[in-house]
Amino acid sequence: MSDYKILLVEDALHWRKILNNYINTATNNLGGHAHISQAESLEKAWDMLENDRWDLLCTDIGLSKTAGATEGALLVSRASEKNIPTIIISGTPSVTPKHVRDFLKEDKVADFLYKQTFNSLDFVQLVEKLLYSNNKLEKSTQKIIIFYSKYNFKEVSKLKDDLFSRFGLTNSNTIIEYFNEILKDNHEWHKSIAQSSENITSVLLILSADFIASHADESSVLPVLVKNIISTGKKVIPVCISPCDIYLAKKIFGLYNINIIEYAAVTKEIPNQEMLLDDLINQIWNALNDNLDISK
């Protein structure tokens, strides 16, 4: 049985009781047990958030009787920094659609639920999803390796942050990272992979023009890298995040029947690129989950 630590922040007692009951329902559905700590003020919640480990934060935005108060936004921002999955349940009139978009985009909040249209089934299912995802990777001692060009550091950092926030991952799921320059020292990365091979589950290859240009010729690093990883039984997940020689890449990965996950916005002028990014994150997550060996 899994134990889940949830921080519930809400100034209205009747809403604390309602949410507490539904959180218990969600953890029971997962076959686990909820340890729910409650706070009714920003000060108390902040202290609890800082001094313990949490699997989930459920918080209101207005935490006082003052009209237009939005103290809970500080908790949301801090939880984002600590990679704690967060659900906002609020009826604060001063929260505008722009605020909601910022919470979802900037702070990587899992969802914003309005009290006025609160749906208990949707809430329970959301809690189940976040706790299951978090618990699944927490139970894994395996490592994910990312190979990418240093010129894509910004994109890779965002990709990694989005994966962590969207699905409640934490740094306990250690990620080893390699830049182009490190890859050029064949002995070094071969040695590192060999030393960690029994714990490594999946390898993300972030494909870009620079990465492909540096490593894709038949005698270079990329083909050798893919071959060596496959030979150890690890899963290779190639992800194209910027324009590159995709045909050459497909030729290399096609030898092993490996499909490349492509970020559609790379080649298309599509207004809703945020939706495309969501799709990319979900594809990567599904590929990682397909290869995680989790024991209950």
CATH of segment(s) 3-137: 3.40.50.2300
Question: With contact defined as beta carbons under 8 Å apart, do 243 and 249 qualify?
Answer: no
Q: For 35-88, write each residue's pLDDT tens digit.
A: 999 999 999 999 999 988 899 999 999 887 665 568 888 999 899 888 889 999
Question: Is pLDDT above 50 for 141?
Answer: no
Total-model pTM: 0.51
For residue 242, the model assigns a pLDDT of 73
| Domain 141-290: assigned CATH number | 3.40.50.10140
- The full set of domain ranges for the chain reads 3-137, 141-290
Are 3-137 and 141-290 in the same CATH fold?
Answer: yes
pLDDT higher than threshold 80 for residue 199: no
Strands (E), 123-251: 143-147, 175-178, 200-207, 235-240
Give me the pLDDT at residue 18, please.
96
